[in-house]
Amino acid sequence: MNTLFYKIIEFFIIFIAMPIAFIFDYPIWIKLSVGLLGFIYIIYILVTKEQVDLKINKDLNWYWFWKQTLLKFCAISVLTTIFVWFTNKVALFHVIINKPGLWLFILFVYTVLSVYPQEIVYRTFFFKRYAPHIRHKKLLWFTNALVFSVGHMFFKNELVLVLTFLGGFLFAMTYYKTNSTFLVSIEHAIYGCWLFTVGMGEMLGFPQ
């Protein structure tokens, strides 16, 4: 089979068909099984076909990363705090104030079991497999942000789609410039944990 044609089919199944299928109601164990098989396939392709080394690169530009990330985080924290204040004041910092133990537990579980696997799929796999075929970097970032948003359609929430598209665009830029799953995972975790902390976690499936 032609390599490009195979990748097109692969892209459609992983980033379009599977996320849309998760919108419908059927047993959760089937969804988890499909998701796990998809993730195993992705790891297999990264290791055997793309020969990706998932170890942390020792030559990371930490200064640039933290400068950019903290600047973006400052803007995000201000905007989201204002948003929660005006739309659901009761939820503002509710979990960290009233359930600090749960807050710490969720931050850990989310970072380890959600953020890192997402970045392997949506940044590492996506860029290694498809970046060579999308030469214009902004189109590449836009496409990545779009499929990242589609991947969250199962929440059935328009605001989630907007937030994940914007976040996906930021993560795509970071991965493109650093080529580091580790760094983009840190950035993803910071923003995601903040949304939970500030009071926007419920729409993203966090317990409140």
**Residue 102 included in any domain:** yes
How many distinct structural domains can be found in the chain? 1
**Residue 43 included in any domain:** no
At a CB cut-off of 8 Å and minimum separation 6, what does 76 contact?
191, 194
pTM of the complete model = 0.94
**Residue 37 included in any domain:** no
Give the tens place of pLDDT for each residue, 107-141.
Answer: 999 999 999 999 999 999 999 999 999 989 999 99
Give the residue numbers spanning the domain of 71: 55-204
* Confidence at residue 1, expressed as pLDDT on a 0 to 100 scale: 62
**Residue 19 included in any domain:** no
Task: Take residue 161 and report the two structure tokens written for it.
Answer: 């789609």
* Confidence at residue 59, expressed as pLDDT on a 0 to 100 scale: 87
φ, ψ of residue 206 to 5 degrees: the values are -75, 140
**Residue 146 included in any domain:** yes
* Confidence at residue 143, expressed as pLDDT on a 0 to 100 scale: 98
Give the tens place of pLDDT for each residue, 180-198.
Answer: 999 999 999 999 999 999 9
**Residue 8 included in any domain:** no
Q: Is the dihedral of CA 42, 107, 77, 95 positive or negative?
A: positive
Give the tens place of pLDDT for each residue, 26-75.
Answer: 999 999 999 999 999 999 999 999 989 878 888 899 999 999 999 999 99
**Residue 48 included in any domain:** no
Q: How many CB atoms lie within 10 A of CB 94?
A: 19
**CA–CA separation, 141 vs 47, rounded Å?**
24
Angstrom CA distances, 203 to 99, 152, 181, 195, stand at: 18, 11, 26, 10
Is the pLDDT at 170 greater than 80, yes or no? yes
Which segment of 17-26, 51-60, 71-80, 91-100 scores lowest on mean pLDDT?
51-60
**Residue 111 included in any domain:** yes
